[in-house]
Structure 1
Amino acid sequence: MPSIPSTPLDSVFGLILDLPSRRPAPDMPARLEGLFQELAQEQGPRPPEEVEDMIWAIWASHEDEAAEETMAEAIDALASGALKQARPLLDRLVARHPGWAEAWNKRATLSFIEKRDADSLADIARTLELEPRHFGAVSGFGQICLRQGRLNEARAAFQIALSINPHLEDLREMLEDLAPENLMLH
C-alpha cells in the first residue's frame, strides 16, 4: 500500500505529539526547569504571569551580548510592524546561533505574520527540537492549523500548549471556541 505523503504541517504535528517524551537541548539554562515546574502549578509562590515573563526573558537572552542586542532590535522591529527590518536580523541570528531556540521562534513568528506558513513551520520545528517546552511555538503551530482549516490539529496543539503553560487564558478560550459543540457550520 503506498504511503500518504507527509506535508510540513503533518511533520511538525508529529513532532508536537512527541513533545512530552523529548528533553530540551543540553545548553538550555537549568533554571528553566524550576520555572516550568512552578508554571505548571495552579497556585505557585509567584503570579504565573511573572513566571511566564521570566521564561520569555531567559529564552530571549544569550551569552553573546551582540546577539542579545540584535534579538532586542528584531523584537522591536516585529512589535512596530517593521517586518522588512526584522527579517535580516533574524536570519543573521539563526545563521550565527543555530542552537538558540528563541531566534528560530521569532523568525517563525515573522514568517507567520507574512503568511509564509511553510517557512514558519520549518522554524517552529527547529524551535521545538531545541526547546520542546516552548508553549509559544506550539501555540503558533495551532494558529497555522487554524488558518489552514486543520481544526483537529489546532485543538491538539492548543491542548499541548496548555499542558505546558496552563495559564494561557486566551488560548483556553480559543480551545473552548473550537470545541465541536461550539463550531457553527456554514
Structure 2
Amino acid sequence: MSSSLPVDPVFQLILEVPGLTPSPALPSRLKGLFRELSQTDPARPVEDIEDQIWTLWSAHGDRVAEETLAAAVEAIASGELQKARPLLDHLVIKHPDWAEAWNKRATLAYIEKRDADSLLDIAQTLRLEPRHFGAISSFGNVCLRNGHLNEARAAFQIALAINPHMDELHDLLENLSPHNLMLH
C-alpha cells in the first residue's frame, strides 16, 4: 500500500459531491436526466438514460476535440494505451473545463496502474461534474486496489445515490460489508 496515494483530498471532495454545483459549461439537459436516473423505476430503460448522459458528457462544441476523445477511447479499448495517452494529455490542456476528457485520462491511468495520477484526474472530473458516477466509482476501485476499504465503500454508496442502477456496485458493496469481510 502506497502512503503517497492522495486518497484523502479526493475522498473529501467525493464526500462534498452532493452539495457541489456542476460546471455551467455542462448541458442543462443533464439535470432532468439525472432526476430520471435517480428514480427506482424510471419510465424508460435505464440504459437509454445512461447512454444519453454519457453522450452529453462526451459531446463538445469543438468537433476535432470530440474526434480526439473518440480516438483515445478507441485506442484504450484496443489496448493501444501509448497511443491514447498523448491524445488525452492534449485534450485536458486544450479543454481544461471538459470533465469527460479528465475522466477518460483517469481511466487510462487506472488501467496503467498509475493510481495517484488517476486520483488527481478523478478529482478534476468531479470539480467540473460532481454527478459523474463513473468517476466516483473509479475512485472506489482505486481505493479497493490499495486497501482503502472504508473509502471505497463510501464512494460506491455516493455513486449509487446518483445512479442506483449500477448493479456491479451493489455487488461490490455486498462483498465489502463488514459481515462479509469477517467471513473471508
Unaligned runs of 5+ in 1: none
Deviation at 1:7, TM superposition (A): 5.6
Alignment of 1:68-83 (within 5 A): 68-83=66-81
- C-alpha RMSD of matched pairs (Å): 1.4
Aligned residue among 22, 25, 28 for 2:23: 25
Secondary structure in 2 matching 1:28: coil
For 2:115, the aligned partner's letter is D
Structure 2 gap ranges (5+): none
1:120-139 matches, cutoff 5 A: 120-139=118-137
TM-score normalised by L of structure 1: 0.95
Under a length normalisation based on structure 2, what TM-score does the superposition of the two structures give? Answer: 0.96
What corresponds to 2:10 in structure 1?
Answer: 12
> Which stretch of structure 1 is more off in the superposition, 42-51 or 68-77?
42-51
* Residue 184 of structure 1, CA deviation: 4.5
Distance (whole Å) between structure 2 residues aligned to residue 185 and residue 117 of structure 1: 28
Q: How far, CA to CA, are the matches of 1:139 and 1:82 in structure 2?
A: 24
Structure with larger RCO (C-alpha < 8 A, sep 6+)? 2
Secondary structure of the residue aligned to 1:46 is coil
Moved more, 5-14 or 158-167: 5-14
Report how many aligned residue pairs link the two structures: 182
Aligned-residue offset at 1:163: 0.3
Displacement of 1:89 in angstroms is 0.5
Query: 1:118 & 1:166 partners in 2: Cα distance?
Result: 27
* CA deviation vs aligned residue, 1:104-147 (integer Å, no higher than 9, x gap): 00000000011101100110000000000000000000000001
Tell me if the contact between 2:7 and 2:119 (Cα under 8 Å) persists in the aligned partners.
yes
Q: By how many angstroms is 1:43 displaced?
A: 1.6
Of 63, 66, 83, the match for 1:65: 63
User: Could you list the runs of 4 or more consecutive aligned residues of structure 1 that deviate by over 4 angstroms after TM superposition?
Assistant: none
